[in-house]
Structure 1
C-alpha cells in the first residue's frame, strides 16, 4: 500500500510586537494587539511586563485598537 505524507504549507512569520514578563522565574508573554491595557500585568505570575518584539506566525485580530 502506498501512503504519501501530507505536505504542510509554511506559515509566514513576521516581527510582532509583544509584552513579555519581567520576572526571571516566568516565561509568560502575549501579543500586543491582543491586550486591553496600556501596560498589562502577567496573567501567569502577576508581575509587570515590558514591550518587545518576536518572530511569530501572522494572526488576524478583528478587534485591533486604533
Structure 2
C-alpha cells in the first residue's frame, strides 16, 4: 500500500506498507512527477514512483518492484 500525504502546503510525504509482512516506510520530500509523485530513500537511494496506475520501486540495479494500482484516489 502506498499513500502520498500533504504534510504542509507544497510538502509531501510517502507512506508505504508491505502487506505481506507489515514492514513500513515513511519518506519526506516526495515531489510531483509524471502525473504522480517520486521520492528517494536517502538510506539506500531507492526511488519510489507512485502513479495512478502503478507503484514502481527502482534501485541502482534496476526495477525492484512494479505493481499495478488496485485503487487510486485524490482528495
TM-score by length of 2: 0.24
Which structure is richer in relative contact order (CA contacts within 8 A, separation 6 or more)?
1
Larger radius of gyration: 1
